[in-house]
Amino acid sequence: MSREQAAESRRAIIAAATQLFRERGVDAVGLSELMKHAGFTQGGFYNHFESKEALVAEVLASAIAEGNTKFVNIARAPVDESTTALRRYIDWYLSRAHRDDIDHGCPVARFAGDAPRLGSGAQSYFAGGLDDQITLLAGLLAESGSPAMIGERKTLRERAISLHCQMLGALVLSRSVAQVAPVHSNGILENVQQDILASIGGRSNQAPGPRK
């Protein structure tokens, strides 16, 4: 096998692992199933990775990097100048589209439940990704000129931590009931979005879901 072929096989394994881990969680995916999904036999796994733990670390590193790049692009998208980057970020993060796009959504939200059981390498990537998201949010808060920032005793980072926890928690809970209680799921997103926007002097653009 050439270096190019080996690199291609490695990328295919990482892509398959990323998809399966996002869909079902890290612990629920075995190496045999993973390699079959990637188009290889299980025996070939150790030609590319020392262990499943090593693979998980690479998956987290890749997912975190791609996710945070996506977040920056969303916040910096050239749209209506009357809409702040902070508002665009909040609207997207708490949207139904983001809730439903588990395969490409926030990696921190998706892997938060797995993180305590992961190896130290994967946990380090996860912690770094979370810190990057908080730093991004703190920057967006600083740029927004939010009225709620006037006289605020919290530092920007402390405020960003609180805001991010609200958003991430709402996303995770909304996803957890989306299949069996869609109205409740929509309501979680809408109510948290409205509360956050009220706290920063904005108004929600999200259409309310049907009431029952």
Q: Cα separation of 210 and 101, whole Å?
A: 21
Number of separate helices (H) and strands (E) present in the chain: 9, 0
Measured between its terminal Cα atoms, the distance across the chain in Å is: 60
**Domains 1-49 and 56-199 belong to one CATH topology:** no
Domain ranges in the chain are 1-49, 56-199
**Each residue's pLDDT tens digit in the chain (212 positions)?**
678 888 999 999 999 999 999 999 999 999 999 999 999 988 889 999 999 999 999 999 999 999 999 998 988 887 666 688 999 999 999 999 999 999 899 999 999 999 999 999 999 999 999 999 999 999 999 988 765 554 556 788 999 999 999 999 999 999 999 999 999 999 999 999 999 999 887 555 554 444 43
How crowded is residue 170: how many other Cβ atoms within 10 Å of its Cβ? 22
Sole residue written with tokens 């708490």: 94
What's the confidence (pLDDT) of residue 200?
A: 84
pTM for the whole structure:
0.84
CATH 3.90.1150.10 for the 1-49 domain, yes or no: no
Q: What is the fold of 56-199?
A: Tetracycline Repressor; domain 2 (1.10.357)
How crowded is residue 163: how many other Cβ atoms within 10 Å of its Cβ? 21
